[in-house]
Amino acid sequence: MAAHDEYHYTIDHAPAYASLILNLKPNQTVVVEASAMAAMDSCIQMDTKVRGGAMQGLKRMLGGESLFMNEFTAQGQGGQLYVSPGVPGDIQHYRLGGSQDSLMVQSSGFVAASPTVNVDSQFQGLKGFFSGESLFLLRLTGAGSVWFSSYGGIVEIPVEGSYVVDTGYIVAFEESLSYHVEMLGGLSWRGIRTGLLGGDGLVCRFQGRGRLWIQSRNLYNLVNFLRPMQTSSSS
Amino acid sequence: MEIELLHQPDSAIAKIHLAPGEELIAQAGAMVAMSSHINPSTSLHRGKGGSLMGAVGRMLAGQSLFLSVFRTAIPAEIFLAPKLMGDLLICDLANSNLVVQSGSYLASASTVNLDLGFQGLKSVFSGEGLFWLDLSGIGSVLLTSFGGIYTIPVNGEYIVDTGHIVAFEKSLSFTIDKAGDSWLGSFLGGEGFVCRFQGQGKVYCQTHNNYALRRQVGSKLSTR
């Protein structure tokens, strides 16, 4: 239990099947990504909201996320809440200190947060276009706790200077780091996107000082591995 | 070269510390993250010898590997991960050669010699792009498994389903055989081909067969 945090929580079954267990205090509220609640005490009340207003909700939808988020409040007494992300992997806790603090999280990685945290969808434009990954990052600001998830295990990297990460493996990073996506020719054969046969060479170069979280697996590799067996409508 | 394995046994990822001048060879696409001053280059590593047509034939037959080489002038670190869920194993080659299933090879020190086109286990039916690498020399080798990885120290004779072999020491002799007494029985029973190992040496096995998963799951995916 992280007793020093405003929330009493544990993360069980990490790093492959991580599940967030929150022990909400009486009348404490937590915001959870739609459909992530697995089980809860009956005293916990769920309220579905379009967090941040209609515009934010719509932006999230464009990013493939749900229009809605759920607010869970323990009514009158404490209650337990089990939260599991859709994709099995790891969960990481982060504390935002307010003022200048800002955390960027891949849009499918948001699990839960205090109601005092602002979740803002950021369209990355062409930055992520060729990677086939989500074009959206979530920008989290405010003060409070955040939990984000991954496919595979999460590894924290303290960056001091410069670091290169394959775009498919970025989970989250502190906004103190500047970043840009580039094609690292040396990672793909003759600069061609070898895709299935190799890497696609698209990397994100982070610069500055800050923490970065990567995941140890990429869901697209599983999809591409299973794909050859998929029947096509012509057969 | 120092290799640290994290998040075993299901989501294993390797963190490798490279000293100046050291070179790391890896399957292209294995790089997850690395110090920015590492210099990568990727090439197509073909099966041994023969004409250009032979090389093309091998590439079409799936017996080629895109390999990346990572070099650094100052101490650096690099994270490598396999494509599917599973574990990683470090093998330190010294005297014996190691025969590795192509999909189970992740990386090795440049002091290890990588030879494609190991024909010993060649079988028309082993299909599915499975081919074998012959590793020799001295240095560390990183193997991946689909599922868990376990070692069988063979002393005498042992039978392993070919889809479950990650790697084995070349000191072992082997034959491809049917699992049961009849070929029909072996195919009906789903076992197909097995590898009979003889002699002394280690066989590294994976608990699960990724091609079996692909056959079962992939066919149930909705039509395109």
pLDDT tens per residue across span A159-208:
999 999 998 899 999 999 998 888 887 777 665 555 444 456 788 999 99
- Segment B138-143 shows an average pLDDT of 96
- pLDDT computed for residue A130 by the predictor: 46
User: What CATH number does residue B140 fall under?
Assistant: 3.60.160.10
Nearest to A229 among B35, B81, B215 (CB): B215
Please report which confidence band the pLDDT of residue A235 belongs to, taking 50, 70 and 90 as the band edges.
very low
Q: Would B224 be classed as within a structural domain? A: no
Ramachandran class of A38: left when φ > 0, alpha when ψ lies in -120 to 50, beta otherwise: alpha
Judged by a CB distance cut-off of 8 A, whether residue A204 touches chain B is: no
pTM: predicted TM-score of the whole model, two decimal places? 0.89
From residue A131, alpha-carbon distances to A134, A181, A190, B142 in Å are: 8, 9, 18, 27
- Segment B186-193 shows an average pLDDT of 68
**Ranges A220-229, B49-58, B98-107: which has the least confidence:** B49-58
- Segment B75-90 shows an average pLDDT of 96
Judged by a CB distance cut-off of 8 A, whether residue B215 touches chain A is: yes
Interface of A with B in 140-199 (CB under 8 A): 152-153, 155, 157, 161-166, 169, 184, 186-189, 194, 197-199
For chain A, give every domain's residue range: 8-226
Write out chain A in H/E/C secondary structure.
Answer: CCCCCCCEEEEECCCCCCEEEEEECCCCEEEEECCCEEEECCCEEEEEECCCHHHHHHHHHHCCCCCCEEEEEECCCCEEEEECCCCCECEEEEEEEEEEEEEEEEHHHEEEECCCEEEEEEECHHHHHHHCCCCEEEEEEEEEEEEEECCECEEEEEEEEEEEEEHHHEEEEECCCEEEEEECHHHCHHHCCCHHHCCCCEEEEEEEEEEEEEECCCHHHHHHHHHHHCCCCCC
B81 and A152 in contact by Cβ < 8 A? yes
Nearest to B36 among A164, A198, A218 (CB): A164
- pLDDT computed for residue A54 by the predictor: 66
Q: Would B223 be classed as within a structural domain? A: no
Range of the structural domain that residue B170 is part of:
2-218
Distance CA(B80)–CA(B16), nearest Å, equals 8
- pLDDT computed for residue A107 by the predictor: 81
- pLDDT computed for residue B50 by the predictor: 39
Most confident among A113-122, A138-147, B182-191 (mean pLDDT): A138-147
Q: Are the CB atoms for A153 and B11 separated by under 8 Å?
A: yes
Minimum CA–CA partner of A200 in chain B? B29
**CATH placement of domain A8-226:** 3.60.160.10
The secondary structure of residue B217, as a DSSP letter, is I
Judged by a CB distance cut-off of 8 A, whether residue B124 touches chain A is: no
Distance CA(B167)–CA(B142), nearest Å, equals 11
Inform me whether the pLDDT recorded for A129 exceeds 50. no
Inform me whether the pLDDT recorded for B47 exceeds 60. no
pLDDT tens track for B191-215: 667 889 999 999 999 999 988 898 8
Judged by a CB distance cut-off of 8 A, whether residue B28 touches chain A is: yes
Judged by a CB distance cut-off of 8 A, whether residue B33 touches chain A is: yes
Inform me whether the pLDDT recorded for B134 exceeds 60. yes
Distance CA(B105)–CA(A2), nearest Å, equals 40
- pLDDT computed for residue A64 by the predictor: 58
- Segment B120-141 shows an average pLDDT of 72
- Segment A24-33 shows an average pLDDT of 95
- pLDDT computed for residue B59 by the predictor: 52
Task: Count residue pairs from A and B with Cβ separation < 8 A.
Answer: 142
Nearest to B83 among A157, A194, A225 (CB): A225
The number of distinct structural domains making up chain B is 1
A164 and B34 in contact by Cβ < 8 A? yes
- pLDDT computed for residue A197 by the predictor: 46
Inform me whether the pLDDT recorded for A99 exceeds 90. no
Q: What is the ipTM of this complex?
A: 0.87
Minimum CA–CA partner of A227 in chain B? B218
Judged by a CB distance cut-off of 8 A, whether residue A51 touches chain B is: no
What percent of chain B lies above the pLDDT cut of 70? 80
Q: Would B106 be classed as within a structural domain? A: yes
| Mutation target vs B (from A181, A226, A227, A231; most B CBs, 10 A cutoff) | A226
* Average pLDDT of the residues of chain B: 84
Minimum CA–CA partner of A206 in chain B? B36
**Local structure of B164: helix, strand or coil:** helix
Please report which confidence band the pLDDT of residue A68 belongs to, taking 50, 70 and 90 as the band edges.
confident
What percent of chain A lies above the pLDDT cut of 70? 77
Q: Report CA torsion sign: B215, B217, B218, B222.
A: positive
- pLDDT computed for residue A49 by the predictor: 79
